[in-house]
């Protein structure tokens, strides 16, 4: 396994390994549970990696895009699993980006009340975030205004994860931007100088940070100010931006803007100084070359209302914010401060 790093997600008897490196897909068979007789590979058209799990397998493609991330896709997969007689002693493999691993994980967690799953992440976003940690889910399409992203899902840890860096060379520029948005958040969760690392070391370090956070707080326990919720740094505004732009802004692009907004809000609240705000711009806009401006046409009141409905909110407007103790969950943020931070950002554009 030359050049392949192994990161362990420590979860007792559900612990597993994440293999990170160019060519890591060739180690897939080593992560297949010994009991698995065959595999259902869930993927999308155009995924650039070929895999060989070392057991017989069938491939099932799902559609591309958020429009396909719903319960109908799970039903279609379950019908395919039924057709091939997939059992609890077999395996589901999610081969693709975050949408594929979310959907494959959810289908695996519910089929026969739970079939093992291994993820092969093919996007940067999948590698540093979605494929690790066991969150699965689909969207609930809006009916009478009630619906939202990832509202239906489970916690279902994979038996192993492959992050094959060969896949990154094939990513379209927008997909790279999305991954960088998620990667940027890790700069503020620890004191690590991630920019000093080469890309594969940096990806492995992001995986390690996520593994540590998940091992400490697998199910995002309510009221834990420094648990898994920290992985949502920048996400409160990001989710609102995704909704208010009808997903014209992709997740990672929205997270980039959400990170600098969170810095402005922390500054307005007196939690960090101006240099720290500039550091956010230097990482997000400078090093990762991501957009940091609010889309001009959005109504601040709608953004605030959308942020107040965030499913992570514990009490009033809730954000993950930087501060003297590092990044932590802050509830009951005054609406005036959230509005002021939006105004400050808009004024910079
Ligand atoms: N993507 C955030 C988490 O896994 O908790």
Q: Is 267 a catalytic residue?
A: no
Residue 259's pLDDT band (boundaries 50, 70, 90)?
very high
Residue 223's pLDDT band (boundaries 50, 70, 90)?
confident
Segment 13-42 shows an average pLDDT of 97
- Contacts (Cβ under 8 Å, ≥6 apart) of 116: 33, 35, 36, 90, 91, 92, 108, 158, 159
Indicate the top mutation candidate among 18, 124, 133, 227 to test ligand 1's pocket, ranked by most ligand atoms within 8 A of CB.
Answer: 133
Q: Which residues line ligand 1 (CB under 6 A)?
A: 129, 133, 135, 228, 231
pLDDT at 310 over 80: no
User: So what's the pLDDT on residue 349?
Assistant: 67
Q: In this predicted model, what pLDDT tens digit does every residue of 171-222 receive, in sequence order?
A: 999 999 999 999 999 999 998 999 999 999 999 999 999 999 999 999 998 7
pTM score of the predicted model: 0.94
Q: In this predicted model, what pLDDT tens digit does every residue of 18-27 receive, in sequence order?
A: 999 999 999 9
Q: Is 235 a catalytic residue?
A: yes
User: So what's the pLDDT on residue 192?
Assistant: 92
H/E stretch holding 43 reads strand 39-43
Answer for the pair 143, 93: CB distance below 8 angstroms, yes or no. no
Residue 298's pLDDT band (boundaries 50, 70, 90)?
very high
Q: What tokens appear for 193 in the block?
A: 């100088």
Q: Is 264 a catalytic residue?
A: no
Residue closest to 228 by CA, chosen among 324, 317, 327, 158: 327
185-207 core/surface letters (b: 16 or more CB in 10 A; e: else):
bbbbbbeeebeeeeebebbbbbb
In the chain, what are the domains? 5-178 (3.40.50.1970), 220-347 (1.20.1090.10)
- Contacts (Cβ under 8 Å, ≥6 apart) of 326: 189, 226
Q: Which residue has the higher pLDDT, 145 or 178?
A: 178
Catalytic residue among 235, 264, 267, 280: 235
Segment 79-84 shows an average pLDDT of 98
Separation of 55 CA from ligand 1 center, angstroms?
Answer: 30
With 0-12 CB in 10 A as exposed, 13-18 as middle and 19+ as buried, what is 246?
exposed
Segment 131-143 shows an average pLDDT of 93
| Mean pLDDT, the chain, integer | 94
Segment 332-338 shows an average pLDDT of 96
């Amino acid at each position: 396994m030359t050049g392949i790093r192994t990161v362990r997600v420590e979860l007792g008897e559900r612990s597993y390994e994440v293999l990170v490196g160019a060519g890591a897909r060739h180690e897939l068979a080593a992560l297949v549970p010994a009991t698995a007789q065959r595999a259902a590979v869930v993927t999308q058209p155009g995924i650039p990696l070929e895999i060989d799990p070392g057991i017989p397998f069938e491939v099932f493609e799902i559609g591309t895009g958020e429009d396909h991330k719903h319960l109908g896709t799970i039903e279609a997969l379950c019908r395919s699993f039924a057709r091939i007689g997939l059992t609890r002693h077999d395996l589901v493999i999610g081969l693709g980006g975050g949408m594929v691993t979310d959907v494959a994980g959810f289908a695996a967690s519910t089929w026969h009340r739970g079939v093992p799953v291994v993820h092969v992440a093919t996007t940067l976003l999948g590698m540093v975030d979605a494929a690790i940690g066991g969150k699965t889910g689909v969207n609930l399409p809006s009916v009478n205004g009630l619906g939202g992203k990832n509202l239906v899902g489970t916690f279902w840890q994979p038996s192993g994860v492959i992050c094959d860096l060969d896949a990154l060379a094939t990513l379209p520029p927008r997909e790279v931007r999305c991954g960088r948005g998620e990667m940027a958040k890790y700069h503020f969760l620890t004191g690590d100088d991630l920019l000093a690392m080469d890309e594969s070391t940096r990806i492995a370090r992001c995986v390690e940070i996520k593994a540590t956070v998940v091992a400490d707080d697998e199910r995002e326990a309510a009221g834990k100010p420094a648990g898994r919720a920290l992985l949502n740094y920048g996400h409160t505004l990001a989710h609102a931006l995704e909704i208010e732009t009808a997903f014209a802004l992709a997740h990672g692009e929205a997270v980039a803007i959400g990170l600098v907004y969170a810095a402005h809000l922390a500054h307005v609240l007196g939690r960090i100084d101006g240099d720290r705000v500039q550091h956010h711009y230097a990482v997000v806009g400078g090093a990762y070359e991501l957009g940091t401006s609010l889309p001009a046409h959005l109504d601040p009141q709608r953004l605030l209302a959308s942020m107040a409905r965030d499913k992570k909110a514990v009490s009033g407007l809730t954000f993950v914010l930087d501060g003297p103790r590092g990044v932590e969950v802050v509830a009951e943020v005054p609406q005036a401060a959230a509005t002021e931070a939006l105004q400050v950002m808009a004024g910079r554009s």
